[in-house]
């Protein structure tokens, strides 16, 4: 009997522009032909999914089908066709809540109360359905439309899990660093209270524009969280009502058994009686700080784009430091993505200064430590047996290591990172294609170089004097006038290559390039550069789409 292929999505919907993209999926606007209703279609390429990924997709769809609430992005349909799966969600057009706040002319504590009320309402709904989100953070708080007073919508249930009532168990290390709860960091059993902890972090940011826990060093960040080491420093907290601080304290309680629930938080006077309890004073300083916080998040997102999420990469049992070009490459991508460099730099400096000021004030005043107990989210998911990951470049970066698929297990720096043979082979493939590209450069072979590079290749390199170069013409000049005419031998060694795979069809490699050559006087010389290259596979062929090179201009060797 012939198998009938489902074409329901193709028959009933029309696809339009792309709204977003992930490793295995793309989100596009679509319209249902018979009604004209618009949706956001998450299109998953199922040909690239492992059995474990299929299970995760089914779990996400199953969870989303359960949830019907005005403050949750709703799943309207789930359709499987040959090679693709379509999830049809609400089309939310208002952007991120935090971006909307900084554009407002007036923002008060009462407004923050209204925001957290909606967030808590959505969390209470999912908890009533025995769902734990595990990745509550600003990026997942959207607005239904650009209209004034548009509803806040909770999105992205990719890390959500199903639990049995108030069950506490170890479901794997999951979330985003700055929003992780103490019990997750302690590798203890957890459940619904992890979402309330994240709500406490979000509320703190809503009131002053910066997070309660923050450090460049992720290990120190985790120590702060596990100790509940936050406070309400002057002067910005002096104008916040005691009731707001009380709610934060109840949310950021170390012991999850004593932490306030979503249902209880909704009955807190600061939430349910905001017109009489919450201050109506405009919080301009909060808006200014939030602008800088948002800019920092955008920079972090650019770093995630290049997947250079950590200063430290594990290679066997060794721990080595990534090249300085890692940070510069991330900034380059941020600039290319439209992030204003000055604002990003200002944001980073401002947040550093803000936290430094807080630390100084802590040293001269009483620091609030929440009670210590034996019980203790670009989100992190590691094996239930794994230890905490290495310190990351950005405290809020989302990292995912599946706990059950056996691909990767996070470990202490003293232990080797465990990878399967397929992943090792794919990483070796990236190293090999990088070596081929450098060989083409050394041989002055522009034709071979052009075959390996995307025609729209972007780059930051010393010869460009700090400018972002796009296309091949800039590089062709050096091939035509220098490299192809250089008859002296050149030998290049790639040192400490670190490869990060980005799904099936993208990867990033960071390495030190040591080049030996003979100068015009016949003397042997050496030069060193730190390089980062982003690769993308199209039609089974790897192409270099972006690179960043540090060091002084050395055109004949580039």
Beta bridge partners of 81: 84
Task: Estimate to the nearest angstrom the gap between the alpha carbon of 66 and the chain centroid.
Answer: 26
Q: How far is Cα of residue 534 from the mean position of the Cα atoms in its chain?
A: 17
Average pLDDT taken over every residue of the chain: 78
Relative to beta strand 25-32, strand 13-21 is antiparallel
Distances in Å between the Cα of 73 and the Cα atoms of 45, 114, 157, 384, 490 are: 22, 18, 10, 30, 57
- Residue 522: CB partners within 8 Å, gap ≥ 6? none
Sorting pLDDT into bands at 50, 70 and 90, what band is 107?
very high
pTM score over 0.85 = no
* CB contact set of 242 (below 8 Å; sequence gap of 6+): none
Contacts of 511-516 with CB under 8 Å at 24 or more apart are: 511/323, 511/434, 512/323, 513/438, 515/490, 515/491, 515/557, 516/490, 516/491, 516/492
Comparing 109-118, 198-207, 269-278, 514-523, the range with the smallest average pLDDT is 514-523
Instruction: State mean pLDDT over 11-37.
Output: 89
Binding-site residues for ATP, in ranges, read 42
- Determine the pLDDT at residue 467: 84
Instruction: Give Cα 390 to chain centroid, integer Å.
Output: 16
Binding-site annotation: residue ranges: 42
Say whether 187 sits in a helix, a strand or coil. Answer: coil
Residues 396-399: contacts with CB under 8 Å, at least 24 apart: 396/137, 396/176, 396/177, 396/178, 396/179, 396/297, 396/300, 397/176, 397/177, 397/300, 397/303, 397/304, 397/309, 398/135, 398/176, 398/304, 399/309
DSSP-based helix, strand, coil % in the chain, nearest 5: 40, 25, 40
Domains 95-305 and 423-557 share a fold: no
Rounded to whole angstroms, the maximal C-alpha distance in the chain is: 83
Q: Would you state the pLDDT for residue 350?
A: 52
Tell me: pLDDT of 414 over 90: no
* Domain covering 423-557 assigned CATH 3.10.450.50 in the classification: yes
Better-scored residue on pLDDT, 392 or 457: 457
| Residue ranges per structural domain of the chain | 9-90, 95-305, 423-557
DSSP secondary structure, 359-413, as one string: HHHHHHS---BPPP-S-------B-TT--PPPPPSSTT------SSSSSEE---T
Mean pLDDT of 226-239: 93
The verdict on whether 135 is a catalytic residue reads yes
310 pLDDT more than 80:
no
Q: The CATH number of 9-90 is which of 3.40.50.970, 3.40.190.10, 3.40.50.620, 3.30.200.20?
A: 3.30.200.20
- Average pLDDT (35-54) is 88
Q: Given the residues 111, 121, 135, 215, select the one marked as catalytic.
A: 135
Rounded CA gap, 467 and 461, in Å?
Answer: 8
Instruction: Domain 95-305: state its class.
Output: mainly alpha
Selected residue with higher pLDDT from 533 and 321: 533
Q: How far apart are CA 51 and CA 281, in angstroms?
A: 53
pLDDT one-digit tens code per residue, 511-537: 888 888 777 777 888 888 888 999 998
């Amino acid at each position: 009997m012939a198998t009938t292929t489902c074409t329901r999505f193709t028959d009933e919907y029309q696809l339009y522009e792309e709204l977003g993209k992930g490793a295995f999926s793309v989100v596009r606007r679509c319209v249902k032909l018979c009604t004209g209703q618009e949706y956001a279609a998450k299109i998953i390429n199922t040909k690239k999914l492992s059995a474990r990924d299929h299970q995760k997709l089914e779990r996400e769809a199953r969870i989303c089908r359960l949830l019907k609430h005005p403050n949750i992005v709703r799943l309207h349909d789930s359709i499987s066709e040959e090679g693709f799966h379509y999830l049809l969600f609400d089309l939310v057009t208002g952007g991120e809540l935090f971006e909307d706040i900084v554009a407002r002319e007036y923002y008060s504590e009462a407004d923050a109360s209204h925001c957290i009320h909606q967030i808590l309402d959505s969390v209470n709904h999912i908890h009533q359905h025995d769902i734990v989100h595990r990745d509550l953070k600003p990026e997942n708080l959207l607005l239904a439309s650009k209209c004034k007073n548009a509803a806040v919508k909770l999105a992205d249930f990719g890390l959500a899990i199903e639990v049995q009532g108030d069950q506490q168990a170890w479901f794997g290390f999951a979330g985003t660093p700055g929003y992780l709860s103490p019990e997750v960091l302690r590798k203890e059993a957890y459940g619904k209270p992890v979402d309330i902890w994240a709500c406490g972090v979000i509320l703190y940011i809503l009131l002053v524009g910066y997070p309660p826990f923050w450090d460049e060093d992720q290990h120190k960040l985790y120590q702060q969280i596990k100790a509940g080491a936050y406070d309400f420093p002057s002067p910005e907290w002096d104008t916040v009502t005691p009731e707001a601080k009380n709610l934060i304290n109840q949310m950021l309680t170390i012991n999850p058994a004593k932490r306030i629930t979503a249902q209880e938080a909704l009955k807190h006077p600061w939430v349910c009686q905001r017109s009489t309890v919450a201050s109506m004073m405009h919080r301009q300083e909060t808006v200014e700080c939030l602008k800088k916080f948002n800019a920092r998040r955008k920079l972090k997102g650019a770093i995630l784009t290049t997947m250079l999420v950590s200063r430290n990469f594990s290679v066997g049992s060794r721990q080595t430091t990534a090249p300085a070009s890692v940070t510069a490459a991330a900034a380059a991508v941020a600039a290319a993505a439209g992030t204003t460099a000055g604002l990003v730099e200002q944001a980073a400096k401002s947040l550093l200064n803000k936290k430094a000021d807080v630390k100084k004030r802590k040293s001269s005043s009483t620091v609030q430590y929440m009670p210590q107990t034996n019980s203790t989210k670009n989100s992190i998911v590691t094996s239930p047996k794994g230890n905490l990951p290495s310190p990351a470049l950005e405290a809020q970066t989302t990292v995912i290591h599946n706990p059950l698929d056996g691909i990767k297990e996070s470990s202490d720096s003293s232990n080797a990172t465990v990878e399967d043979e397929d992943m090792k082979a794919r990483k070796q493939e990236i190293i090999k294609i990088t070596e081929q590209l450098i060989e083409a450069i050394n041989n002055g072979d522009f034709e071979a170089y052009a075959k390996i590079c995307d025609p729209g290749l972007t780059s930051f390199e010393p010869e460009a004097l700090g400018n972002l170069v796009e296309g091949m013409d800039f590089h062709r000049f050096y091939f035509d006038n220098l490299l192809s005419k250089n008859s002296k031998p050149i030998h290049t060694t790639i040192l400490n290559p670190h490869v990060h795979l980005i799904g099936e069809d993208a990867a990033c490699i960071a390495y030190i390039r040591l080049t030996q050559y003979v100068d015009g006087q016949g003397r042997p010389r050496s030069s060193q550069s730190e390089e980062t290259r982003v690769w993308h596979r199209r039609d089974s062929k790897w192409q270099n789409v972006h690179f960043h090179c540090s060091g002084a201009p050395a055109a004949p060797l580039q």
